[in-house]
Structure 1
Amino acid sequence: MSDQGRSDSGRNETPLERADRNFTELLQELRVTQTGVQILFAFLLTLAFTPRFPSLDTMQRATYVTTLLLAVLAAALFTAPAAVHRGLFQRGAKPLIVRVSSRLAGIGLGVLVLALTGSVLLVVDVAASRTGAIAAAAGTLLVCGGLWGLLPRAVARAGERSGEVRSADAEGGEGSSGLT
C-alpha cells in the first residue's frame, strides 16, 4: 500500500483510520462522563419527591430547577454525538462527525461543571448554610475548571517542551480538540 494519504502522526494510519480511532476514543470518554451525568440527573429528579422539598426557599428552588435543566442539557450534549453519527452514518463524513462530536463533548463538560456546581450549591445550602454553599460551589467550580481546563493545557505545554506531545499548531489546530 502506498504511503500517500498516510498521517504524519507516527501511527501509520490514513485520515479515515485516524477519524475512526478518534471517534472510538471520544465514545470511551463520553461513556465515562455520561454515567456521571445520569447519576446526577437521577439524584436531582428524586429530590422533588422528598418530604423536605416543599420547605425549600425561592433561591433553593431556582437553584434546583436551573441545575436540573443544566443536567438535562449536559446529557443531551453527551448523547448528541451518537445522533450525529447516526444521521451521517455511511456518508463518508467521519472526520466531520469527529470534529462536531468533540466540540459537543467539550461544551457538555462546561455545562456539566455548572450542573455539578449547582448541585453542590443546593445540597450545602440545605444541609449547612448559604455562606457555606457559596464557598463550596465556588470550590467546585475552581476544582473542576482546574482539573478539566487548566490541567490538560499544563500537561500539553510540558509535553511539548519535552517532545512527548506535538503542539496543536503542528496539526492545524486539531490537537486542541483533545483528539489526535
Structure 2
Amino acid sequence: MDDSRNETPLERADRNFAELLQELRVLQTGVQILFAFLLTLAFTPRFPELDPVQRSVYLVTLLLAVSAAVLFTAPAAVHRVLFRRGVKKLIVDVSSRLAGYGMAVLALALSGSVLLIADVVLGRTGGIVAGCGVLGGCALLWAAMPWRLRGRTPNGHGRDSP
C-alpha cells in the first residue's frame, strides 16, 4: 500500500497507465499534425525546387515523424496484446520507455522540420541555426528541466511516483 495515496500496487499501475495515456494523447496530436504537414509538402509546386540536401532533410524528417507516431501508438498495441494477463506494471514500464523514445524522435522530427523550412526561407546557415535552436529547446524543456526538478524532490521522485 502507498500511504500517501492509499492505493494498492495494481491501482498505482492503473493510475500510472491512465496518466501515460493522457500524455500520449497530447503528443500524438502534435505528431499527427506534423506528419500531415510533411506529407503535403511533397505535393506543393515548390517541392521540385528543393536541392538534394533539402530533399534529404525532408525524407529523414518524414521518417522521424512516422517513427514518433509508431512509438507513441505502440503502448496501445502492448496493452492490447498483454491485456488481462496480470502484467499491468510491465505494460506501464514498457509503455513509458516507448513514450520516452518517442519524445526523443519527435524532438529530432521537429528540429528537422524547422531546419527544412528555415533553410528554404533563410538559407542553409539560418536553417541549421533554427533547427539546432529547436533541438536545444526540446532538450532543455523535455529533458534537462524535468531531470533537474526530479533531483529536487525527496529520494529523486515525487509523491505521485513511481
Query: If the TM-score is normalised by the length of the shorter chain, which range does it land in?
Result: over 0.9
| Structure 1 unpaired stretches of 5+ | 1-5, 161-165, 169-174
Aligned counterpart, 2:12: 18
Q: How does 1:104-143 map to 2 (within 5 A)?
A: 104-143=98-137
CA shift, 1:135, in A, is 0.5
CA shift, 1:179, in A, is 5.2
Provide TM-score, normalisation by structure 1: 0.86
Q: Which has the larger radius of gyration?
A: 1
Does structure 1 residue 7 correspond to structure 2 residue 2? yes
| Structure 2 unpaired stretches of 5+ | none
Distance 2:21 2:35 in 1: 20
Distance 1:157 1:91 in 2: 35
Q: How does 1:29-178 map to 2 (within 5 A)?
A: 29-160=23-154, 166-168=155-157
Distance 2:130 2:24 in 1: 26
- List per-residue Cα deviations over 1:10-37 (Å, max 9, x = no partner): 1111110000000000000000000000
C-alpha spacing 1:78/1:179, structure 2 compared with 1 (3 Å): farther
Please give the root-mean-square deviation of Cα atoms over the aligned residues, in Å: 1.4
- List per-residue Cα deviations over 1:50-94 (Å, max 9, x = no partner): 000001000000000000000000000000000000000111110
- List per-residue Cα deviations over 1:95-146 (Å, max 9, x = no partner): 0000000000000000000000100000000111110001001111110000
State how many pairs are aligned: 161
- Percent of aligned pairs sharing the same letter: 66
Provide TM-score, normalisation by structure 2: 0.95
